[in-house]
Structure 1
Amino acid sequence: MSKKYKITLSPVDKFFFGGDMTFKVDNNENDKFNEQFSSYIIKSTMFPQQTSLLGMLRFLILRNSGEEIFKDGKITDKGKGNEKEEGKAVKLIGSHSFSVNDKHNVNNFGKIINLSHIRVQRTENGKISELEFAPLYCKEMDWNGANKAWFNSKEISIPDMPKYNAKEGLQTQLTDGVNQYKLEDVFIEDRRIGIHRNITTGKTEEGALFKQIAYRFNNKDANHCFVFDAEIADDIVFKSYNSQLVSIGGDNSHFIIGITENNTSNNNISSIDNAVYLLSPAYLTHEDMRLAKFAITNIIPFRFLKSSINAESYNILNKDVKRSNVKYELYAPGSIFYFEDDKTKNDFIEKLKSKKEFRQIGYNEYK
């Protein structure tokens, strides 16, 4: 048996969610890491990866499990780290972090059954609403005035899109189903410029200048926080973790977690005839994309950290923590796909649903 929860994340200060790129690590042993992933201008994403939410939940359950399972930042009851000889920690959070498999089966995360995609909760004058991604111009498409074009040796129709700007590409907004909000009305950039100094000598090193762009919520006219849903086994007293401090992302990004039982959805977003748009990042193959007759999309890179319950340390530079070998490409939330008829639309939806390991942690969600 399980229970469904509404989880809010209220930032204590600015927040920073990284991706592949990080600052240079000042250590000769990390040259390979620096070469692949370092940069001197780093900009946060506005939303955390779903894998980060999963990692936060796994750690939250662990640190509240008692010293016989987790003590001094380390797992004390690992068992053999497999299903046949499970320790108590494996039963709580599973033996491994998120992974992609050829059959797209769900992963085992112990007491964590699934979680939804991240959203923004807006509170204004006591009224609470949830903001979802939506394309800016989805209802202004004119297929009657469509133009013909050739793409990959095939004739296609391109609708008249009065609000589409080719230089901007995919443009998205946040909506509660009634009101629309620009991203810059909800998020504020927090820019920081600094100089790296040698931790031993205190001297400024060559190429030490860096620039970091984090985010804050714009709480001038309304209060904002992140929100998502999770289904947790009911033998975990999950509500008792309410109001604890949790960490997500980098640069000491801390949040106060709010937990309430919830079995209803606040999704008031309407669907569009013969079209599907993404509420979350989504993994789709090139073959899946052939079902759409037309699409306006953006691609975001996706890598995740791989670790097992046997890791001695979960620091990114530790040998027990590795980045996924494959760099995946996900279609960004707000991407919209148009179809010739209901059959191909439904076939496309089934393709989204078939990536079960992605759906399990809040990817591939659509309207």
Structure 2
Amino acid sequence: MGKYLVKLKPVESFFFGGERGFDFYENDTKAKNNIVKSKEFPQQSSILGMIRKEILVLNGLLNEKWDYPPHEKEKMEQLIGKKSFNITNPTDDFGIIKTISPVFMVQETQSNDRFLIKIPKDHNQNKDSEKYDPLNFNDSKGSYLKVKTNLSKEVYLPVNFDSKKGLSEDFLDIETGEILAQDKVLIKDSSIGIKLDDNHKTQNYSLFRLERYKFNYDKNYEKSNKCFGFILDIDEKDQPITFNNYKNIVNLGGESSYFSMSFENINFDLKDKVDFENKKNILNEPYCKIILLSDTYISKDAYEQNCIYSISKKIDFRTLSSENYNSNKEKGKPYYKRFEKSKNRYSLLEKGSVLFTNKDRYHELIESINNSNFQKIGYNIFI
């Protein structure tokens, strides 16, 4: 096995698209949108596709026309699997790719790398605390409020969370618990323009704004000291070529977003860095708490039956797939034009969401989140 810390340093500002572009479909009806905003993180399925492509590049197997003889197809299937990620397929195989961690942010310093994630959503943005305490709803004084719902159920609400203040958009150093304000990590990079038709004339409602992101770099530090990162477990045991010290420029996301990618051998996992991981096991109060380190898929029934209370946000998710191995109609089409967007749209709980349950429902909720198909590529990771 080879375990790598993969870093993605943006060449310029970057854009990660969502469900709504300038033209999008809502209830099968085409709609217009004049303001398009980037997401802060790329989708895990995009990271998977990027790594699969790089494996082919590393092994000299990427053909732009995707026109391969049988023996090369067999080699490709051994390296990256047969098909793209499918949310409904519980047995996805991606060849030598074993696991991908959730994407986080890396702040490089002269001594070591600091790993940053979105702060759990039970922390309010206006609180004075400089550090995050995962048990802030449940201290020795019993800082929770017991209320009864319309269904005569008892619900314990965390007192230290004030819903009127909204959800924090800050970041958290997962080793020290230090909180970094969002604008200390990311800066919005907006551009405006006017759309023209094929005759180079102004269209109606043609004014648009595109909001990208760039990292807020420390001007006192000699190099660009923030980037994206994730941990890749890959089976290189029988491979003559490895990713050790491999570098490349890759395209990830939209609007011509390019990144400098590097690989570094490591011997730790993401959860090894989470200093507050074991604290959740000492809860002796009526509630158990689950923090989502990644975007997470859970069925509506399991969520409603076992999650008594949550502080969360949802994001839309739709896969891209390319059945390029067996489809004659795709023969000769360039690699980048062979992808088709799934017709099914799903809702995921956004990373940083916090779920509360009681001891009776805790294991059922955990079981519904544990999904090896998702966890293999960095979804459904929690503590």
- The TM-score, its normalising length taken from structure 1, stands at 0.84
Aligned to 2:126: none
Match of residue 351, structure 1, among 359, 362, 368: 368
| Cα separation, 2, equivalents of 1:181 and 1:300 | 23
Q: Which letter does structure 2 place at the counterpart of 1:279? A: L
Q: CA deviation at 1:167?
A: 5.8
Mapped pair 1:165 → 2:159: no
Q: Deviations over 1:83-124 (max 9, x none)?
A: xx95332222222111022xx523122222221110011123
Measure, in 1, the Cα distance between the counterparts of 2:116 and 2:257.
Answer: 22
Q: Helix, strand or coil for the counterpart of 2:187?
A: strand
Contact 2:244 2:264 in 1 (8 A): no
Equivalent positions of 1:120-139 (< 5 A) are: 120-135=105-120, 136-137=122-123, 138-139=134-135
> Runs of 4 or more off by more than 3 Å in structure 1?
31-38, 142-145, 169-173
Alignment pair present for 1:140 and 2:158: no
Do structure 1's residue 51 and structure 2's residue 45 form an aligned pair? yes
1:275 aligns to what SS in structure 2? strand
Question: Is the Cα contact below 8 Å between 1:117 and 1:228 reproduced in 2?
Answer: yes
C-alpha distance 297-170 of structure 1, shift in aligned 2 (>3 A): farther
User: Given that residues 188 and 212 in structure 2 are in contact (C-alpha distance below 8 angstroms), is that contact kept between their aligned partners in structure 1?
Assistant: yes
Aligned pair 1:188/2:187, yes or no? yes
1:95 maps to a residue whose letter is K
Q: 1:76 to 1:21 in 2, by over 3 A?
A: same
Distance in 2 (alpha carbons) for counterparts of 1:172 and 1:183: 4
**Correspondence 1:270 to 2:276:** yes
Deviation, 1:331, is: 0.7
Once the two structures are TM-superposed, the CA of residue 160 in structure 1 deviates from its matched residue by 4.3
Counterpart contact for 1:117–1:363, Cα < 8 Å: yes
Tell me which amino acid in the other structure corresponds to 2:297.
Y
Cα deviation for residue 352 of structure 1 reads 1.6
Give 5+ residue unaligned stretches, structure 1.
Answer: 26-30
Q: What amino acid is aligned across from residue 270 of structure 1 in structure 2? A: F
2:311 aligned with 1:293, yes or no? no
CA distances 1:48-106 after superposition (whole Å, capped 9, x unpaired)? 0001101111111222332xx333x23232639xxxx95332222222111022xx523
Among 310, 316, 325, the alignment partner of 2:343 is 325
Show the counterpart of 2:90: 105
Q: Secondary structure at the match of 1:184?
A: helix
Look up the SS of the partner of 1:195 in the other structure: strand
Structure 2: 5+ residue runs without aligned partners?
124-133
Which residue is 2:378 aligned to?
A: 362
Q: State the SS of the aligned residue for 1:258.
A: strand
**1:248/1:100 Cα in 2 relative to 1: closer, same or farther (>3 Å)?**
same
After TM superposition, give the deviation of residue 288 of structure 1 in Å.
Answer: 2.3
Q: Decide whether aligned partners of structure 1 residues 240 and 170 sit closer, same or farther in structure 2, where only a CA change above 3 A counts.
A: closer
The one of 60, 70, 73 aligned to 1:79:
70
Name the CA shift for 1:40/1:344 in 2 (closer, same or farther; >3 Å).
same
Rounded Cα–Cα distance in structure 1 between residues aligned with 2:144 and 2:195: 56
Per the TM alignment, residue 305 of structure 1 is displaced from its structure 2 partner at its CA by 0.9
Kindly indicate whether the alpha-carbon contact (under 8 Å) linking 2:307 and 2:355 is maintained by their aligned counterparts in 1. Answer: yes
Q: How does 1:28-47 map onto structure 2 within 5 Å?
A: 36=30, 39-47=33-41
Match of 1:228 among 230, 253, 256: 230
Q: Name the CA distance, whole Å, in 1 between partners of 2:26 and 2:363.
A: 45
Instruction: From the superposition, tell whether residues 171 and 288 of structure 1 become closer, same or farther in structure 2 (CA, over 3 Å).
Output: farther
Report matched runs for 1:333-344 at 5 Å.
Answer: 333-341=351-359, 344=361
CA RMSD of aligned residues (A): 2.8
Q: Could you tell me how far 1:212 is from its partner in structure 2?
A: 0.3
Maintained 8 Å contact 1:23/1:42: yes
**Aligned residue number for residue 249 of structure 2:** 245
The residue number in structure 2 matching 1:20 is 19
Between the aligned partners of 2:358 and 2:70, the Cα distance in structure 1 is: 53
> SS at the partner of 1:212?
strand
Instruction: Give the TM-score of the pair, scaled to structure 2.
Output: 0.81
Q: 1:18: Cα distance to partner? A: 0.2
The secondary structure found in structure 2 opposite 1:189 is strand
Aligned residues: 345
Pick which of 106-115 and 326-335 moved more: 106-115
Matched-pair contact (CA < 8 Å) for 2:137–2:143? no
